[in-house]
Chains A and B, each alone.
Chain A
């Protein structure tokens, strides 16, 4: 089965410290991977995606993610967290063997950045 796991329901970090939000995937073949962020009662905002090439992907708002094929992971990172980064983060995967543009989402990780 194709799936995405976000093992942490919540991540707490102090402002100014580095943050990591974890994501692992299980799909057939090479996946396309995405990160989205959701603020309360809002839609999802696209942060970044991995298609091919460099394993380190840079995205919006200073976020980056590292694709690790051997560990089937795509962790989201930021060198210095801001209080305004507090939100719900979703990892998603698009398996290449599907006939349409389906995205499989993880259950989300809530990030809380304390002042």
Chain B
């Protein structure tokens, strides 16, 4: 899991609540990513950011929002608009600008909607 931390490890949310998942990295990486993992579906990209104050939607951005105010931090908010938010959420980071750059992952946050 290297220098990427995610908190909390487990998160429980009631219907209609927004929750924010934290992701911090000390690898001096420019690019950061959020993925969602569901059983049998692999990982799907929610949002990514290649530089501070800039981010782009991934394949399943609806119901999610992000910010990138600092290089080290890329928090993800799961809003009440997300229809099925129960999943395992993974944050990753990488150097930017090179096709060969490897993405490194944090330990994940498991979100459960009650």
Residues in chain A within 8 A of chain B (CB atoms): 9, 32, 34, 36, 41-46, 49, 51, 90, 94, 96, 100-103, 105-108
Contacts and interface: CB of A to CB of B under 8 A. Distances in A.
A36 B52 CA distance: 27
A43 B105 contact: yes
B19 interface: no
A94 B101 CA distance: 10
Contacts of B92: 44
A46 B31 contact: no
A106 to B, nearest CB: 6
Contacts of A43: 1, 4, 6, 90, 105-108
B20 to A, nearest CB: 19
Given A44-B92, A102-B48, 8 more contacts: A42-B107, A43-B105, A43-B107, A44-B43, A106-B42, A107-B40, A107-B41, A108-B40
A90 B1 contact: no
Given A42-B1, A43-B106, A49-B102, A102 B90 contact: no
A41 B58 CA distance: 23
A103 B108 contact: no
Nearest to B95: A101
A102 B33 CA distance: 9
Which among B1, B40, B92, B99 has the greatest number of chain A C-beta atoms within 10 A? B99
B91 to A, nearest CB: 8
A85 B110 CA distance: 23
B103 A101 contact: yes
A96 to B, nearest CB: 6
A49 B100 contact: yes
A74 B13 CA distance: 40
B49 to A, nearest CB: 10
